[in-house]
C-alpha cells in the first residue's frame, strides 16, 4: 500500500498517470466480475472526486488498485493476490479519507 500527497491537481493527475502508464486498459470499470483491465471515475456523496484503475500485474500476477482523490490531492495503490481481488475491491470502498463509489 502506498499513499502520496501532492500540492495541486495537476501534480495529482500526473502522479496517477505515472503509476498506470504501463497498463493498457480495455474496460471502463472496475467491478468484481470485470476483467482486471479497467479505468473509471468515482464519486463520493454524489461528487466526482477521482479516478480508479484496476489491473493484474504481468510480473507478479497480483491484482492492483490505483486511485486518485483529487479533492485531497492524493494518489494511492494497493495490491493483493489475484484470488483476493474481490476482497481488495470491497476494502477500497471503505478505505482512506474518502469512501468511493464507482460512477
Domain count, the chain: 1
On whether residue 17 sits in a domain, the answer given is: yes
On whether residue 103 sits in a domain, the answer given is: no
Residue 101: pLDDT band by 50, 70, 90 thresholds?
low
Q: What's the confidence (pLDDT) of residue 43?
A: 87
Q: How many CA atoms lie within 13 A of 7 on its CB side?
A: 0
- Asked if 87 and 63 touch (Cβ cutoff 8 Å), the reply is no
On whether residue 93 sits in a domain, the answer given is: yes
On whether residue 84 sits in a domain, the answer given is: yes
Using one digit for the tens of pLDDT, what is the confidence trace for 27-47? Answer: 999 988 767 899 999 988 888
Q: Which domain holds residue 44?
A: 2-98
Q: What's the confidence (pLDDT) of residue 93?
A: 85
On whether residue 72 sits in a domain, the answer given is: yes
Q: What is the largest CA-CA distance in the chain?
A: 36
SS3 98: coil
Of all helices (H) and strands (E), which one includes residue 2? Answer: strand 2-5
Q: Which three cell numbers stand for residue 60?
A: 507478479
Using one digit for the tens of pLDDT, what is the confidence trace for 4-33? Answer: 999 999 999 999 999 999 999 999 999 887
Amino acid at each position: 500500500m502506498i499513499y502520496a500527497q501532492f500540492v495541486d491537481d495537476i501534480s495529482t493527475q500526473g502522479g496517477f498517470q505515472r503509476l498506470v502508464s504501463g497498463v493498457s486498459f480495455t474496460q471502463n470499470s472496475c467491478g468484481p466480475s470485470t476483467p482486471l483491465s479497467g479505468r473509471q471515475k468515482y464519486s463520493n456523496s454524489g461528487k466526482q472526486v477521482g479516478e480508479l484503475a484496476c489491473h493484474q500485474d504481468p510480473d507478479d500476477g497480483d491484482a492492483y488498485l490505483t486511485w486518485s482523490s483529487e479533492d485531497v490531492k492524493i494518489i494511492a495503490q494497493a495490491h493483493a493476490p489475484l484470488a483476493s481481488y474481490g476482497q481488495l475491491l470491497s476494502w477500497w470502498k471503505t478505505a482512506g479519507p474518502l469512501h468511493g463509489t464507482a460512477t
